[in-house]
C-alpha cells in the first residue's frame, strides 16, 4: 500500500465512520482490509482503493467500514456502568418518571448486543417495580453485520463467560449445542437499528439514559464534540450519559458536565447548573460549605 | 498475596492455569485429584480453588461437597473449571457450593473475569 493509498483510506474512513486513523495504524488497515480484498476477489489493497473510487460498489464500501470497526464487547463490561444503572440511575428514573411511567434507554454503539442485553437483564430483575411501565431499549451500531448477530442473540461459550455471572447464564440463556442463546423475552426487549453516529439521529427521539461507551475514542476532537453535542440534544434535561473509561466531555462540549459523584457519568450542563443554583439541593450546601 | 489451589488431573491444564494465576499475582498450589486437594486444604485453606470435575480418586463434585462440610471449608471461592458444559452440570455444581463456573477451553480473559466476579479483581491480589 502506497502512502497515497493509505491517505485515501484514512480520509475515506474518516468521512464515512468518523474513524480517525493515525499514521501508526497503517498495520491495522493492512491486516483488517486484507480479508475484504479476498472476499471481493481483489488482489491487493491497491485494487481495493480502486474499487472504492469508481464505480462505487455499496457492498465493498460497507465491508471496508465494518472491517475497520472495533466490535470488542462483553456482558457487563467494566461492571461500574451497570452497577450504576442498577443502584442509582434506574431507582432515580423510577421516581422521576413515576407520572409518565415511561423510560427510554439508548445503547449508541451496541456492537453484538452484550451491552443492551446486560441492561435488559437488569430491567427484567426490576420488573416488579416497572409493572405498567413502557420501557424501551434502542440499540444502534454502524455495522449491520454485528446487529444481525445481536438480534440472533447467539453467543459462544467464550462470549458468555466474559463478564456474565454463571447464575445469569443459567437464568437467561438456552444451550444450543456449543452455543448459548439469550432468551426470547430479552431479545424482544431490544430494538436494534443501524445507525452511523456521524449522521443525524434526532429522529430516534429523546432518551433518559444513553450508553455511548468506547466509540468516541476512535474519533478526532471536532467529531467527538459534534457527536457529544447531538447526544446532549437527544438526552432528556435530567438524563444520564455514560461514556467509556477513556472518554470525557471536557474540552469537547459545554453542553454536558461530568457527574461530581460517579466516574463515567455525564449530565446536561443546564440541569447541573440548575441543581447548583437550587437552595434546597443537598450538594449545594457541601459545595459552598454552608 | 492471595492463594489459589488448582485441582486438576491434567498436568498441562495445571501448568497453563498456574501461568495465568501467577500472572495475576496469586500464590499457586496444585493437586491432581480431590482426595489430595482435601488434605492440602486441611493444612492450608486457599482463598480460591480452581476445580476440575472428572478426576481419579475423588472427583471435583465430591471434593466440593466434602470441602463445604469441613471446618473453614465455606471460605474459599470455588470455580469449577471443566469440560462438563451442559446446563445440568452447571446447576449441580452451583447447588454443591461452587461460586462460579468456567467452561473449558478457557483463556486468561475468562479466568480473570470469573475471578473478578467472585471478588478478586486482578490488580488487588498482591495485597
- Give A172-195 as a DSSP string: HEEEETTEEEE-HHHHHHEEEEE-
Q: What does the pLDDT read at residue B92? A: 93
Name the strands in the sheet holding A134-141, side by side, starting at the edge strand that comes first in the sequence.
A190-194, A134-141, A102-107, A207-212, A235-243, A265-268, A256-258
Identify the active-site residue in A16, A26, A32, A96: A32
pLDDT higher than threshold 70 for residue A194: yes
Hey, of A161, A167, A171, A183, which one would you mutate to test binding to chain B, going by the most B CBs within 10 A of its CB?
A161
Name the strands in the sheet holding B48-51, side by side, starting at the edge strand that comes first in the sequence.
B27-31, B3-7, B48-51, B77-82, B100-103
Chain A contact present for B103, CB below 8 A: yes
Number of domain units in chain B: 1
Written as nine digits, the cell of A166 is 454463571
Q: Please, are residues A179 and A153 in contact by the beta-carbon 8 Å criterion?
A: no
Of B107, B110, B117, the CB nearest to A165: B117
Of B86, B90, B113, the CB nearest to A162: B113
Q: Which residues of A touch B83 (CB under 8 A)?
A: none
* Shortest Cα distance, chain A CAs vs residue B107, angstroms: 9
Q: Is A86 helix (H, G, I), strand (E, B) or coil?
A: helix
A170–B94 CB contact, under 8 Å: yes
**Residue-wise DSSP of A195-227:** --TTS--GGG--EEEEEE-SSGGGS-HHHHHHH
Q: Please, are residues A271 and A236 in contact by the beta-carbon 8 Å criterion?
A: no
Nearest CA in chain B to A172: B87
Nearest CA in chain A to B92: A170
Nearest CA in chain A to B88: A170
Q: Is A32 a catalytic residue?
A: yes
pLDDT higher than threshold 90 for residue A237: yes
A158–B107 CB contact, under 8 Å: yes
Q: Please, are residues B74 and A147 in contact by the beta-carbon 8 Å criterion?
A: no
Chain A contact present for B126, CB below 8 A: no
CA dihedral over B103, B91, A190, A126, signed as positive or negative: negative
**What CATH code is carried by the domain that includes residue B21?**
3.40.50.2300
Q: What does the pLDDT read at residue A234? A: 97
Written as nine digits, the cell of B87 is 446446563
Q: Measured between alpha carbons, how far is residue A97 from residues A18, A90, A135, A208, A271 in Å?
A: 35, 10, 11, 9, 16
CA dihedral over A241, A242, A245, A246, signed as positive or negative: negative
Give the mean pLDDT of A132-148: 94
Q: What is the ipTM of this complex?
A: 0.86
Chain B contact present for A165, CB below 8 A: yes
Question: Could you tell me the pLDDT band of residue A72, with boundaries at 50, 70 and 90?
Answer: confident
Q: Please, are residues B26 and B54 in contact by the beta-carbon 8 Å criterion?
A: no
Q: Is A191 a catalytic residue?
A: no
Q: Measured between alpha carbons, how far is residue B18 from residues B8, B10, B24, B56, B110 in Å?
A: 11, 12, 10, 21, 14
Comparing CA positions, the residue from A5, A90, A16 lying closest to residue A50 is A5
Give the tens place of pLDDT for each residue, A219-234.
999 999 999 999 999 9
How many helical (H) and strand (E) elements, i.e. helices and strands, does chain A have?
13, 10
d(C-alpha A231, C-alpha A244), whole Å: 15
pLDDT higher than threshold 70 for residue A287: no
Domain that holds residue B34: 3-124
Spatial neighbors of A23 by CB under 8 A, at least 6 apart, are A6
CA dihedral over A64, A67, A68, A70, signed as positive or negative: positive
Chain A residues 121-160 with a CB less than 8 Å from chain B: 157-158
Rounded to the nearest integer, the mean pLDDT of chain A is 88
* Shortest Cα distance, chain A CAs vs residue B122, angstroms: 13
d(C-alpha A134, C-alpha A96), whole Å: 14
Domains observed in chain A: 3-68 (1.10.155), 80-277 (3.40.50.150)
Chain A contact present for B63, CB below 8 A: no
Q: What does the pLDDT read at residue A51? A: 87
* Shortest Cα distance, chain B CAs vs residue A97, angstroms: 32
B100–A165 CB contact, under 8 Å: yes
Identify the active-site residue in A141, A208, A213, A230: A141
Chain B contact present for A266, CB below 8 A: no
Residue scoring higher pLDDT (A213 or A24) = A213
Give the tens place of pLDDT for each residue, B65-120.
999 999 888 999 999 999 988 899 999 999 999 999 999 888 888 999 899 989 98
d(C-alpha A64, C-alpha A66), whole Å: 6
Amino acid at each position: 500500500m502506497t502512502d497515497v493509498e493509505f491517505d485515501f483510506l484514512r480520509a475515506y474512513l474518516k468521512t464515512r465512520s468518523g474513524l480517525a486513523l493515525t499514521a501508526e495504524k497503517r498495520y491495522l488497515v493492512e491486516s483488517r482490509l486484507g480479508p475484504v480484498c479476498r472476499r471481493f476477489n481483489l488482489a491487493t489493497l491497491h485494487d481495493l482503493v480502486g474499487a472504492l473510487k469508481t464505480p462505487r460498489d455499496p457492498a465493498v464500501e460497507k465491508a471496508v467500514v465494518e472491517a475497520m470497526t472495533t466490535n470488542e464487547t462483553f456482558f457487563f463490561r467494566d461492571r461500574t456502568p451497570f452497577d450504576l444503572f442498577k443502584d442509582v440511575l434506574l431507582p432515580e428514573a423510577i421516581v422521576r418518571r413515576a407520572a409518565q411511567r415511561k423510560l427510554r434507554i439508548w445503547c449508541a454503539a451496541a456492537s453484538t448486543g452484550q451491552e443492551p442485553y446486560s441492561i435488559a437483564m437488569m430491567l427484567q430483575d426490576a420488573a416488579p417495580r416497572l409493572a405498567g411501565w413502557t420501557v424501551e431499549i434502542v440499540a444502534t451500531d454502524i455495522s449491520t453485520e454485528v446487529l444481525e448477530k445481536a438480534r440472533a442473540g447467539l453467543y459462544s461459550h467464550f462470549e458468555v463467560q466474559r463478564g456474565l455471572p454463571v447464575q445469569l447464564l443459567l437464568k437467561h440463556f438456552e444451550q444450543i449445542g456449543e452455543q448459548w442463546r439469550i432468551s426470547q423475552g430479552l431479545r424482544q426487549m431490544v430494538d436494534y437499528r443501524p445507525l452511523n453516529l456521524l449522521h443525524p439521529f434526532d429522529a430516534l427521539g429523546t432518551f433518559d439514559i444513553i450508553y455511548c461507551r468506547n466509540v468516541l475514542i476512535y474519533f478526532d476532537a471536532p467529531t467527538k464534540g459534534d457527536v457529544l453535542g447531538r447526544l446532549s440534544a437527544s438526552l432528556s434535561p435530567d438524563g444520564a450519559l455514560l461514556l467509556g473509561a477513556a472518554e470525557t466531555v471536557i474540552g469537547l462540549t459545554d453542553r454536558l458536565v461530568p457527574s461530581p459523584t460517579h466516574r463515567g457519568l455525564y449530565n446536561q450542563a443546564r440541569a447541573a447548573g440548575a441543581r447548583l443554583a437550587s437552595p434546597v439541593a443537598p450538594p449545594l450546601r457541601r459545595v459552598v460549605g454552608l | 498475596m492471595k492463594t489459589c489451589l488448582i485441582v486438576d488431573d491434567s498436568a498441562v491444564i495445571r501448568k497453563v492455569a498456574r501461568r495465568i494465576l501467577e500472572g495475576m499475582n496469586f500464590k499457586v498450589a496444585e493437586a491432581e485429584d480431590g482426595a489430595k486437594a482435601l488434605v492440602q486444604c486441611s493444612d492450608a485453606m486457599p482463598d480460591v480453588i480452581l476445580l476440575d470435575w472428572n478426576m481419579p480418586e475423588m472427583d471435583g463434585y465430591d471434593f466440593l461437597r466434602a470441602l463445604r462440610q469441613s471446618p473453614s471449608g465455606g471460605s474459599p471461592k470455588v470455580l469449577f473449571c471443566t469440560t462438563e458444559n451442559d446446563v445440568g452440570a452447571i446447576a449441580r455444581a452451583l447447588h454443591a457450593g461452587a461460586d462460579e463456573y468456567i467452561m473449558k477451553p478457557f483463556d486468561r480473559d475468562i479466568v480473570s473475569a470469573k475471578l473478578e466476579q467472585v471478588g478478586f479483581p486482578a490488580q488487588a491480589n498482591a495485597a
